[in-house]
């Protein structure tokens, strides 16, 4: 069977999802998990974009072994040199340079002629090749480019030393058969195409990113570029977990396989969701909450008779564990074991706090399910990421009713000094938020607010995710967890304020 390389761009294209910016520690943690997942290449960032991007790519190159560590760069000398300066610390460094090839981009974005673009592409690949043996070249907006010119540029890039040529459907415009025919056309009309691996990078604007990627594989592509949970610009990228599980589940159909350790898929999905703050939709293929749930009676009967009746893959195949239930009599070891099942490792004060929270919840709910455990662990991680706390919540009092307006009295400690304020609002959450704003002044603006119950029921944990902006306009994503909706909201706001103060990227 042909081996398909999996090129993960979660840390580069995925991070470009609005509100999904990661800090350097989070990027390193995700990179280690991607190495554990056994992807072939990690595109760690765009080094020329900022000092933070350069530092994170360099840190990953220095510390993560296994996959190729790749930096993206335009077909510009300074970009390429900067990318090499970041990735050269890896045992397996890789440079990925690109330039647009569609007439639309040439006319309106680059303001260059075809001959100028061809020359730039050749020069860029040549320079990159002088640094690294592993050079990838991408034709941005390939799916809307003139096929003849596209093939000319690809052939020139291979001649200059590119060992991977990437064909992006940059704006997710191609239909499946259309994109497949483009891959076949390239294979037939680029004379030296056997000198490089054909890669594809598909976006999901029309919901076809995975389908187009798989059709490209069927037509001879040897690498798929994708992101965990399908995150990315606009509607996102081809979802890694969907591409991989198609290859694993239908290997005989595609005649292909990949090296990904599928049992790490679920933990990787959870980690990316946790750090980016982008929740996975319930009905998301492979990693969604409902992906292995069966409610209809006829389905349940079939499952009991034989899981294959309604499951083409098992939860265990992606590392999704059996539902764990912790009660108030469960011991510390049971909690540690439950956390380890989901890839968490805590000790000291953090573990003590988690155990205490789980037992307190078990006293109220009688039992604590897997999602509760994960939510509590995520909440503690969020507290850790906030760091030194400028604002510490002391007390919240709210009153509301159908015949009385919502009113809140909030007390916080700011740099150790107690401050309080009262405010009304359209509801208890709004009133509490307004009170905090009175204390802090115009320091923060609430941009987004999302509330969900973890496991259902009126006694469920409330999980609040929100986005706040500081005076400089930078956005920060924070979360709060509590059995009470108002308290979860206030905790999230306080966490957001502390992130703004720390200058932490969300």
Q: Given this model, what pLDDT does residue 295 score?
A: 44
Are 360 and 305 found together in one domain?
Answer: no
Given 384, 407, 426, the domain boundary residue is 384
Are residues 412 and 335 located together in one domain of the fold? Answer: no
Burial of 304 (0-12, 13-18, 19+ CB in 10 A): exposed
pLDDT over 50 at 316, yes or no: yes
- Clarify whether residues 307 and 401 are in a common domain: no
Task: Please state the length of the chain.
Answer: 506
Instruction: Please state, in angstroms and rounded to a whole number, the distance separating the CA atoms of residues 462 and 376.
Output: 11
Q: Give the C-alpha distances (Å, rounded to integers) separating 297 from 302, 307, 344.
A: 9, 14, 35
The per-residue pLDDT for 503 is 67
Assigned domain for 487 exists: yes
Query: What's the mean pLDDT in 454-483?
Result: 78
Which of 343, 358, 384 finishes a domain? 384
Tell me, what CATH number does 410's domain have? 3.30.160.270
- Residues 12, 145 within the same domain: yes
Residue 66: both structure tokens together: 């296994």
Per-residue pLDDT at 298 = 45
pLDDT of residue 496: 82
pLDDT value for 303:
45
Burial (0-12, 13-18, 19+ Cβ within 10 Å), 446: middle
Question: For residue 86, what pLDDT band results from cuts at 50, 70 and 90?
Answer: very high
Residue 282 lies in a domain: no
d(CA 58, CA 73): 14
Would you state the pLDDT for residue 416? Answer: 80
Does 91 have pLDDT greater than 50? yes
Split at pLDDT 50, 70, 90, the class of 302 is low
Better-scored residue on pLDDT, 265 or 468? 265
Find out whether 232 and 12 touch, Cβ atoms under 8 Å. no
pTM: 0.80
Query: According to the model, what pLDDT value does residue 375 have?
Result: 78
> Has residue 234 got a pLDDT over 70?
yes
Q: Which pLDDT score, from 0 to 100, does residue 301 have?
A: 47
Kindly state whether residues 351 and 412 are assigned to the same domain. no
pLDDT value for 306: 62
* 457 — pLDDT class (breaks 50, 70, 90): low
283 domain residue, yes or no: no
77: helix, strand or coil:
helix
Assess whether 269 and 345 both reside in one domain.
no
Q: How many domains does the chain have?
A: 4
Does residue 45 register a pLDDT over 70?
A: yes
Which residue range is the domain that position 309 belongs to? 290-319
Question: Two tokens at 133?
Answer: 């043996």
63 lies in some domain: yes
Looking at residue 296, its pLDDT comes to 45
Determine what percent of the chain is predicted with pLDDT higher than 90. Answer: 58
pLDDT bucket at 324, cuts 50 / 70 / 90:
low
Q: Is residue 284, in this structure, part of any structural domain at all?
A: no
| pLDDT tens-digit series, residues 245-301 | 999 999 999 999 999 999 999 999 999 998 888 889 989 999 998 887 644 444 444
The residue that leads in pLDDT, 456 or 480, is: 480
Mean pLDDT, the chain, integer = 88
Residues 15 and 145 in one domain: yes
- Residues 306, 205: one domain? no
In this prediction, residue 325 carries a pLDDT of 66
Domain end marker among 358, 384, 410: 384
- The answer to the question of residue 134 being in a domain is yes
Q: Has residue 337 been placed in a domain? A: yes
Q: For 66, which DSSP code?
A: S
Domain contains 285:
no
pLDDT higher at 250 or 440: 250
Residue 293 confidence (pLDDT): 65
Q: What is the pLDDT of residues 108-162, one digit of tens each?
A: 999 999 999 999 999 999 999 999 999 999 999 999 999 999 999 999 999 999 9
pLDDT of 212 over the 60 cut: yes
Query: 403 and 465 in one domain?
Result: yes
DSSP state of 441: -
What is the pLDDT confidence band of residue 322, given thresholds at 50, 70 and 90?
A: low
Per-residue model confidence (pLDDT) at position 445: 81
Q: Are 315 and 325 found together in one domain?
A: no
Q: Are residues 81 and 122 in the same domain?
A: yes
- Dump the DSSP string for 209-245: HHHHHHHHHHTT--EEEEBGGG--STT-B-BHHHHHH
Exposed / middle / buried, residue 322 (Cβ in 10 Å: 0-12, 13-18, 19+): exposed
pLDDT of residue 505: 45
Q: Is the pLDDT of residue 385 over 70?
A: no
The 3-state DSSP composition of the chain as helix, strand, coil percent (nearest 5) reads 45, 20, 30
The confidence score (pLDDT) of residue 485 equals 86
309 in the same domain as 236: no
Band of residue 312 on the pLDDT scale cut at 50, 70, 90:
confident
């Amino acid at each position: 069977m042909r081996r398909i390389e999996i090129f993960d761009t979660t840390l580069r294209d995925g991070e470009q999802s609005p509100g999904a910016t990661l800090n350097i520690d989070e990027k390193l943690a995700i990179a280690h998990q991607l190495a554990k997942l056994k992807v072939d290449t990690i595109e760690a960032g765009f080094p020329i974009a900022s000092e933070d991007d350069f530092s994170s790519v360099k840190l990953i190159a220095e510390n993560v072994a296994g996959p190729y560590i790749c930096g993206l760069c335009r077909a510009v000398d300074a970009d390429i040199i900067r990318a090499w300066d970041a990735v050269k610390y890896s045992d397996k460094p890789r440079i990925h340079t690109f330039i647009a090839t569609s007439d639309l981009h040439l006319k309106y974005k680059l303001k260059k002629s075809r001959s100028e673009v061809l020359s730039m592409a050749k020069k860029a690949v040549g320079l990159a090749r002088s640094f690294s043996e592993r050079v990838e070249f991408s034709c941005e907006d390939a799916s809307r480019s003139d096929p003849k010119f596209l093939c000319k540029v690809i052939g020139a890039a291979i001649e200059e030393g590119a060992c991977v040529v990437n064909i992006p459907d940059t704006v997710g415009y191609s239909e499946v058969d259309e994109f497949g025919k483009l891959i076949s056309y390239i294979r037939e009309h680029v004379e030296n195409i056997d000198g490089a691996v054909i890669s594809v990078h598909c976006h999901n604007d029309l919901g076809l990113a995975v389908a187009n990627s798989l059709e490209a594989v069927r037509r001879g592509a040897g690498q798929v570029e994708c992101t965990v949970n399908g995150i990315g610009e606009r509607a996102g990228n081809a979802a890694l977990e969907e591409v991989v599980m198609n290859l694993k589940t239908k290997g005989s159909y595609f005649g292909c396989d990949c090296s990904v350790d599928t049992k790490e898929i679920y933990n990787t999905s959870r980690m990316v969701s946790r750090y980016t703050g982008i929740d996975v939709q319930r009905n998301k293929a492979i990693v969604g909450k409902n992906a292995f749930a069966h409610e209809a009676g006829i389905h349940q009967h079939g499952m009991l008779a034989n899981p294959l009746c309604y499951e083409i893959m098992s939860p265990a195949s992606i590392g999704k564990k059996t539902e764990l239930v912790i009660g108030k009599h469960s011991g510390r070891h049971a909690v540690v074991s439950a956390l380890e099942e989901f890839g968490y490792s805590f000790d000291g004060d953090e573990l003590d706090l988690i155990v205490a929270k789980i037992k307190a919840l078990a006293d109220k709910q009688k039992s604590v399910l897997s999602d509760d455990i994960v939510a509590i662990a995520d909440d503690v991680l969020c507290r850790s990421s906030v760091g030194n706390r400028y604002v510490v919540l002391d007390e919240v009092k709210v009153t509301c009713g159908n015949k009385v307006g919502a009113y809140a009295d909030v007390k916080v400690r700011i740099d150790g000094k107690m401050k309080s304020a009262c405010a009304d609002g359209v509801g208890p959450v709004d009133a509490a938020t307004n009170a905090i704003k009175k204390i802090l002044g115009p320091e923060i603006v609430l941009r987004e607010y999302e509330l969900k119950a973890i496991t259902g029921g009126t006694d469920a944990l409330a999980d609040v995710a929100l986005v706040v902006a500081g005076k400089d306009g930078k956005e920060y994503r924070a979360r709060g967890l509590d059995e009470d909706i108002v308290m979860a909201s206030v905790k999230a706001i306080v966490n957001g304020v502390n992130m703004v103060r720390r200058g932490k990227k969300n």
